[in-house]
Amino acid sequence: MDEPVIVVTRRWPAPVEEELVRRFPHVRLNVEDVPLGPEGLRAALEQADVVLPTVSDRLGAELFDGELRTTFLGNFGVGYDHIDIEAAARAGIVVTNTPGVLTDTTADTTMTLLLMVARRAGEGEREVRAGRWTGWRPTHMMGADVTGKTLGILGMGRIGVAVARRAHFGFGMPVVFHDPVDFEPDHGIPGARRVDTVEEVLALADFVSLHMPGGGENARLIDAAALARMKPTAFLVNSARGDVVDQQALIAALRSGTIAGAGLDVYEDEPEIPRDLRELDNAVLLPHLGSATRETRTAMGMLVLADLQAFLTGHPPSCRVA
Ligand code: DGY
């Protein structure tokens, strides 16, 4: 393919956009940073050789029907449940993602959520900003200790392991984990215990952290029954995908005290977050910031570019998912 037409669906970090423009004469950047929507995405697939989407673009099977020009989709992000990769593959499109480069940053965000919800940091900040703090007192805003508590990990991939390592080596937390496809005994974390079921993790952990992909059989895995299996003193942390948790069931569990709190970076219907959830003080809510550092977002973009370059020069992309 000589000089491909490339559509980038959202703004990317400046160093990556500069590199794209330097290398390719026919790049269309989304200067306004407004999501293209289904029609814009369909037009991109019909008119461009390469489309570079991200999690805010929903690329369902219907978008891949019929005549398309695109042969390469380089997703900016590790999760690709927003792309029907089987339909893309049937349409002859190669799809890549960005694993590895965001592991530590996402694990750091997960620990931020865990610490914030345990120590009521969001609530405390709101109190100070609203001018409602009346001074130190022994019973003021008491949270829960983190050190020495049990961390339960569901999904022991790269990010799950990175969170477990931080929690164990940094906070002395015993780790219990479940993963349906990973059978490594302890991932080099002393005492880490692999268990056979999700239910065991839910029952044993003081903090349950989710690290599985979204969609498929993981959709609403954490429903009312799952939440009821957790200790009433336990916290749920989700930096994976919003659809893994039944959001209404979580709201009910947070209200009734079925669990103590939740730290969330992802939601069922982003960017919509129900008012009922926003009003709960025992929920820490971040706007999908998992990988949001300058360094990591630049590395993600550069990885997409490296795989695009490989594809265009007839080499196998290193992060091909379809
Ligand atoms: C990821 O990399 O999967 C982030 O959640 C953004 O898509």
Tell me the C-alpha distance between 282 and 262, whole Å.
7
Question: Among the atoms of ligand 1, which is closest to the Cα of residue 288?
Answer: 5
Residues in the chain: 322
User: Maximum distance among all alpha carbons in the chain?
Assistant: 70
Distance 284 CA to ligand 1 centre (A): 19
Residues classed as catalytic: 241, 270, 288
Query: CATH code for 6-101+293-312?
Result: 3.40.50.720
Distance 174 CA to ligand 1 centre (A): 27
Kindly state the tokens that stand for 244. 């893994």
Closest residue to atom 3 of ligand 1, CA basis: 79
Closest residue to atom 4 of ligand 1, CA basis: 77
Element (H, E) at 186: none
145-181 burial string, b = 16+ CB within 10 Å, else e? ebeebbbbbbbbbbbbbbbbbbbbeebebbbbbbbee
- In this structure, are residues 46 and 67 in contact, taking their beta carbons and an 8 Å threshold? yes
What pLDDT does 183 receive?
Answer: 85
Q: What's the Cα-to-Cα distance from 288 to each of 16, 162, 210, 239, 307, rounded to whole Å?
A: 21, 18, 14, 8, 25
- Around Cβ 134, how many Cβ atoms within 10 Å? 8
pLDDT at 2 over 90: no
* Residue labelled with tokens 């939740």: 262
pLDDT at 296 over 80: yes
Distance 268 CA to ligand 1 centre (A): 14
Tell me the C-alpha distance between 31 and 177, whole Å.
43
Question: Among the atoms of ligand 1, which is closest to the Cα of residue 97?
Answer: 2
Confidence band, pLDDT 50/70/90 cuts, at residue 111: very high
Distance 248 CA to ligand 1 centre (A): 23
Confidence band, pLDDT 50/70/90 cuts, at residue 182: confident
Closest residue to atom 2 of ligand 1, CA basis: 77
Cα angle, residue 215 at apex, residues 152 and 29 outer, rounded to 5°: 110
Distance 246 CA to ligand 1 centre (A): 20
Domain ranges in the chain are: 6-101+293-312, 103-285
Question: Among the atoms of ligand 1, which is closest to the Cα of residue 80?
Answer: 3
Q: Do domains 6-101+293-312 and 103-285 have the same CATH topology?
A: yes
Question: Among the atoms of ligand 1, which is closest to the Cα of residue 98?
Answer: 2
Q: Which of 52, 56, 59, 78 to mutate to test the pocket of ligand 1 (most atoms within 8 A of CB)?
A: 78
- Ligand 1 pocket, residues with Cβ under 6 angstroms: 54-55, 77-79, 102, 290-291
Distance 79 CA to ligand 1 centre (A): 5
Tell me the C-alpha distance between 181 and 267, whole Å.
25
Kindly state the tokens that stand for 45. 């697939």
What pLDDT does 168 receive?
Answer: 98
Question: Among the atoms of ligand 1, which is closest to the Cα of residue 75?
Answer: 7
Distance 6 CA to ligand 1 centre (A): 21
The predicted-structure confidence for 42-76, as pLDDT tens digits, reads as follows 999 999 999 999 999 999 999 999 999 999 999 99
Kindly state the tokens that stand for 261. 């709190």
Taking the C-alpha atoms of 177, 217, 220 and 91 in order, what is their torsion angle to the nearest 10 degrees?
A: 120
- In this structure, are residues 174 and 204 in contact, taking their beta carbons and an 8 Å threshold? no
* Residue labelled with tokens 């993981």: 218
Q: Which of 291, 298, 321 to mutate to test the pocket of ligand 1 (most atoms within 8 A of CB)?
A: 291
Closest residue to atom 1 of ligand 1, CA basis: 77
Taking the C-alpha atoms of 176, 180, 185 and 190 in order, what is their torsion angle to the nearest 10 degrees?
A: -20
Confidence band, pLDDT 50/70/90 cuts, at residue 1: confident
Taking the C-alpha atoms of 304, 308, 309 and 313 in order, what is their torsion angle to the nearest 10 degrees?
A: 160
Class of the CATH-defined domain 103-285: alpha beta
3-state secondary structure 92-107: CCEEECCCCCCHHHHH
Tell me the C-alpha distance between 185 and 47, whole Å.
48
| 314 exposure class (CB count in 10 Å sphere: 0-12, 13-18, 19+) | exposed
> Mean of the pLDDT values across residues 231-245?
98
> Mean of the pLDDT values across residues 270-287?
98
Q: Which of 12, 58, 75, 102 to mutate to test the pocket of ligand 1 (most atoms within 8 A of CB)?
A: 102
This prediction has a pTM of 0.97
